[in-house]
Amino acid sequence: MENTSLQSEFREPELSGRSGRKRWIPAGLLVLVAVAFWAFGLNRYLELAWVIQRQNQLQTYVSEHWAAMLSGYMILYTLIVALSIPGASILTITGGFLFGWIWGGLAALLGATFGALAVFLVARSSLGAVFARRAGPFLTRLAGGFRESAASYLLFLRLTPVFPFWLVNIAPALLGIRFNVYLWTTILGILPGTFAFSVIGSGLGSVIEAQELASPGCTVSGACTVELEALITPQLLAAFFALGIAALIPILVRFLRRKSRQKA
């Protein structure tokens, strides 16, 4: 069976030789930068312990160079998401801690959106056509069903804190989701979680102060540690799940309508 319905979503001309290999350059660069990131141990800067230990320095930089620090934070966020490196939650909390929940949340939202769009475009140009050619009948039907209710599925995947962020960025590109649908569902889907984590970050200072009172000097020594699991309450996770389930209601309504028509 030919996968014409899936292939029609990828309209790039068939390329061969040197021209065909060029479309893999962006994906290759992302992989190389990600490998270098881990090889040089830069992931340690995405830990709350590092932020807490250097909070005075970071807050001084922010007070003296607020706009530059906020712009740098947003660029860093974009790169982390584009490279599919874990740590977006820590970055969001850090943004709320340093810039306040409004500005920190807005910068995180823009950075996450730009990074997700970069992954989507790279995956679509490098992997989309290959996936479309090699997809079997089952994957073709799966892609068709996903596209039929793309907005609801994407909102569910974005709102529910179960699926890896990088996977939700790449999968729609392989399934032929339209760019405009991907864009607005990304913004709307990550907005609640982004600002929720930013609000958590805005209250991180009081947590650090309590630990410093209990153990003076722990901030400078690095002994003051805050676990991410301690900041995220079960009630918050339940709220995200509820929003995710609500996004599936249109699919359920459509399914019930089809059943009623079949019976009629």
pLDDT at 1: 45
Query: Cα–chain-centroid distance for residue 217?
Result: 35
Q: What is the pTM of this model?
A: 0.79
Domain boundaries, the chain: 22-263
- The phi and psi torsions of 162 (rounded to 5 degrees) equal -120, -40
d(C-alpha 152, C-alpha 167), whole Å: 17
pLDDT at 204: 83
pLDDT at 259: 63
Could you tell me which residues come within 8 angstroms of residue 37 by beta carbon, excluding any fewer than 6 positions away?
43, 83, 85
Of 123, 99, 98, 92, the closest CA to residue 198 belongs to 92
d(C-alpha 134, C-alpha 36), whole Å: 31
- The phi and psi torsions of 254 (rounded to 5 degrees) equal -65, -40
pLDDT at 221: 63
Question: Which DSSP symbol is given to 44?
Answer: G
Show the tokens assigned to 239: 């709220």
Compute the mean pLDDT over every residue in the chain, rounded to the nearest whole number.
Answer: 78
Could you tell me which residues come within 8 angstroms of residue 116 by beta carbon, excluding any fewer than 6 positions away?
81, 165, 169, 186, 190
pLDDT at 14 over 60: no
pLDDT at 7 over 70: no
